[in-house]
Amino acid sequence: MLDAFLTGLGLVFEWPTIGFLFGGVLLGIWLGAVPGLGGIIGLVILLPFTFGMEATQAFALLLGMFAVTSTSDTIASVMLGIPGTAASQATILDGYPLAQKGEAHRAFGAAFTVSAFGGVFGALILAASLPLLLPLIKSFGKPEIFALGILGLSMIGVLSGKSIAKGLVVALLGLLIAMVGFAESDAIPRYDFGTEYLLDGIPLIPVVLGLFAIPELMDLALKDTSISRVPRDRVAGVTILTGAKDALKHWWLATRSAFIGTYIGVLPGLGGAIVDWLAYAHAVQSAKDKSQFGKGDIRGVIAPESANNAVKAGALIPTVAFGIPGSLGAAILLGALLIQGLRPGPEMLTTDAHITFSMVWSIVVANVLAAVLLMVWANQLAKLAFVRGHLIVPAVIMFVFMGAWIARVSIGDWIVCLAFGVLGFAMKKGGWPRPPIILALILGDILENALHISVLAHGGYGWLERPVVLVVLALTAIMIVLAGRGIIKAKSSPNRAETGDDADGSNILSLPLSVVLVLLFAGAIWIANGFPVDIQRLPMMIAVPALLLSIYVLGKDIKLVREDAAGGGGIGAVWSDAVAGALLGRAGVFFAYLIAMIAVSFVIGQIAAICLYIAIYLWRWGGYGWRLSIGYALAGGVFLWGFYGKVMTIHWLPSYLDDFYGMILSLGS
């Protein structure tokens, strides 16, 4: 095993393998940094180029790109509060507040340092413990996967907001959204409302971008501010090295988080989705002073970033050893294995172990390369935090809507993105946590598949008595109880400060959303009654407790609104203050701009519509001159045409002027 380990290392540094690895790293940094792209898009683009390559060269290119997306996705998480990929969900809780404090470079320094450490440490620990891990992987069945999924959802529900009830309701809402479309057990659609677009479910990327990106961009636009809420001279002493020193100071937390990432990563289909939340939860629970988490605590960046880079090496094992791809990315890598003439199975850990270890080493070297490059560029990236928000909003809106479009190349992607943008804005202003929706949407199909197979295999619910399942469910219950006690204690503290989604939270703005959720869950139960028994099982398990919890939240909101009204001059005065504070009037105008962009796309096409939006936004909203507005718009149009149109060769929405554009192009040629 040691010989294979060292041979694999030597293969990675042979030429041209190392060149392909470096090229993959550069591409991966770009794909991870741009919202809506990520490693899956990169794998799809690069896979055809690997035909005819040697195995080590092909996997150096693919893994070099894929591994570093969970490092560069930190850029969007810190700078914009957008989870660049599923691996960076927990990073936004403290990374974005650090950027708002003007300390984005500190967050980058810590994140990139522990990313390199996590990738290297995870691979080394994995190699050392591989003989012990294989029996563990084989012993984990669908019941254990289901229980761990419930643990992950509960964890994010209790950690991502001041109200446990709201966090759990939002997690259940995400699971219910995941039930849209065809069921896992039968080809019967649920909650599709006769719409063809919903038959395949609601895609993840438009939901993520709408829920997180649009509300944060609206903050920049409505308040005419930069990402940083403090001037640059206030944080002159904070640098990239400050973050690196933070990482060294908290080396033991980074080490423990890397352990978590490595060993959770080997669980097929689940590890990558929950590992950053497990690491974040561990950081919170193990800290003596928990008061700064969610407000810009550097430990809240170190833990998830160390874990989510360690997970990539662990996730390789079930793919190469058992042919069990735990994610879409792993499934594409499995296809690459087969293209190279390699058969997943025990021989990948015996006869072909040197190739397996070359894959692990590719991940290690890629993480180190990416961390070094990003550390060099990070100071320039951090300067964007001090740029006026009106210059950032149009470009990011372009990336957000194009990232959403890639999901299915359907106008439904844009509508979903905008709809969840409205929901995200309402949740932020009402003090509802948003991250639980995303994890629930990721885990929805996994949980339903695990539940269906568990019930069939065990003839009912006898699998709930399995020892590991009982332990995990008990941990879930204990965590909720302890977290509840901790939050109650924190609420009673007069020094408690609220940030993130809690900071803008208004009781009276939360009330309408509570009412909508009660009606939504009640309607979901009524509709599910018409499904066959097997099909309605999970929707009922979700909607019934969600209805009860949302009724409880509604009652709490009514009570809090009455208290606010009693001390604030009546309901009318409280409502007026909340509307003014949330800038709802200007928010309506912002959404009208986006609705107009979508509508105009049917007439003049998407590229022209986005360019028109950029120009009008900068001129009318930002107050810039026509030269800057038109120049910015033209630059955006060239990028859309070149990168998305020519490099990615995506299909655009048909428009009324397509024939006119075709005539112009033919005249030009």
**Total number of domains constituting the chain:** 3
637 lies in some domain: yes
pLDDT(382) > 80: no
Which position has the higher pLDDT, 111 or 316? 111
Q: pLDDT category, 384, cuts 50, 70, 90?
A: confident
Average pLDDT, the chain: 82
Say how far apart CA 424 and CA 122 lie, in whole Å. 35
Whole-number pLDDT of residue 349: 67
Say what the pLDDT of residue 533 is: 79
- Which of 30, 39, 62 has the alpha carbon at shortest distance from 49? 62
445 and 378 part of one domain: yes
Structural domain contains residue 234: no
Query: In the chain, pLDDT over 70 holds for what percent of residues?
Result: 85
pLDDT at 499 over 70: no
Top pLDDT among 265 and 117 is at 117
Reported as a pLDDT band with limits 50, 70 and 90, residue 635 is very high
Omega of the bond prior to 16 within 30 degrees of 0, cis?
yes
Domain membership of residue 19 (yes or no) is yes
Can you give the pLDDT at residue 1?
A: 63
> Are the C-beta atoms of residues 137 and 277 closer than 8 Å to each other?
no
User: Could you say which of 470, 505, 540 is where a domain stops?
Assistant: 505
101/86 same-domain check: yes
pLDDT tens-digit readout, 432-480: 988 788 878 877 877 888 888 888 888 788 888 888 888 888 888 887 7
pLDDT at 105: 85
Q: Let me know if residue 236 belongs to a domain.
A: no
Side-chain-facing half-sphere of 285: CA atoms under 13 Å: 18
Q: Residue 610 in contact with residue 640, Cβ under 8 Å?
A: yes
Looking at residue 507, its amino acid is N
Task: Identify the pLDDT of residue 324.
Answer: 60
By CB atoms closer than 10 A (0-12, 13-18, 19+), residue 642 is exposed
Which of 167-181, 298-312, 322-336 has the highest mean predicted lDDT (pLDDT)? 167-181
- Mean pLDDT computed over 386-402: 89
Q: Tell whether the model's pLDDT for residue 496 goes beyond 50.
A: no
Residue 346's pLDDT is 64
**Does 428 fall in a domain?**
yes
Per-residue pLDDT at 634 exceeds 90: yes
pLDDT given for residue 554 in this prediction: 94
One domain for residues 462 and 594 = no
Distance CA 664, CA 414 (A): 28
What 3-state class would DSSP assign to 351? coil
Same domain, 11 and 65: yes
pLDDT one-digit tens code per residue, 537-594: 888 989 999 999 999 999 999 999 998 888 777 888 888 888 888 888 899 999 999 9
Angstrom distance (rounded) from CA 443 to CA 327: 11
Query: Which pLDDT value is given to residue 488?
Result: 47
Instruction: Tell whether 36 and 175 lie within a shared domain.
Output: yes
| Cβ proximity of 210 and 419 under 8 Å | yes
Q: Is the pLDDT of residue 508 over 70?
A: yes
Q: pLDDT tens digits for 406-422? A: 878 899 999 999 999 99
**pLDDT attached to residue 267:** 66
Of the residues 565, 582, 599, the one at which a domain ends:
582
For the chain, helix, strand, coil in percent to 5 are 80, 0, 20
Identify whether residues 432 and 557 lie together within a single domain: no
pTM equals 0.80
Residue numbers of the domain that contains 385? 2-227+241-505
- Among candidate residues 608, 661, 617, the one with its CA nearest the CA of residue 638: 608
Residue 611: pLDDT over 50: yes
- Same domain? For 147 and 271 the reply is yes
Please tell me the predicted confidence (pLDDT) of residue 397.
92
Mean pLDDT across 346-356: 74
Token pair belonging to 497: 């400060």
Average pLDDT over residues 97-114: 88
Helical ranges in 323-434 per DSSP H: 328-339, 353-382, 389-405, 411-430
Structural Rg of the chain based on CA atoms: 25
Please indicate, yes or no, whether residues 602 and 576 belong to a single structural domain of this protein. Answer: no
- Give the confidence band of 398 by pLDDT, cuts at 50, 70, 90: very high
Rounded Cα distance between 562 and 550, Å, is 18
Do 656 and 543 have their domain in common?
no
Q: Is residue 180 included in any domain, yes or no?
A: yes
Asked whether residue 490 carries a pLDDT value surpassing 50, the answer given is no
**Same domain, residue pair 392 and 460:** yes
The reply to whether 173 and 184 lie within a common domain is yes
- In a domain, residue 638? The reply is yes
Which own/partner pairs from 45-52 qualify as long-range (CB within 8 Å, at least 24 positions apart)?
45/648, 47/332, 47/335, 47/336, 47/339, 50/336, 50/339, 50/340, 51/339
Cβ-contact 379, 239 below 8 angstroms: yes
Clarify whether residues 328 and 281 are in a common domain. Answer: yes
pLDDT at position 615, please? Answer: 95
Whether pLDDT at 497 is above 50: no
Domain-terminating residue out of 450, 481, 505: 505
% of the chain with per-residue pLDDT over 90: 21
Range in 75-79, 328-332, 578-582 the model is least confident about: 328-332
Is 534 contained in some domain? yes
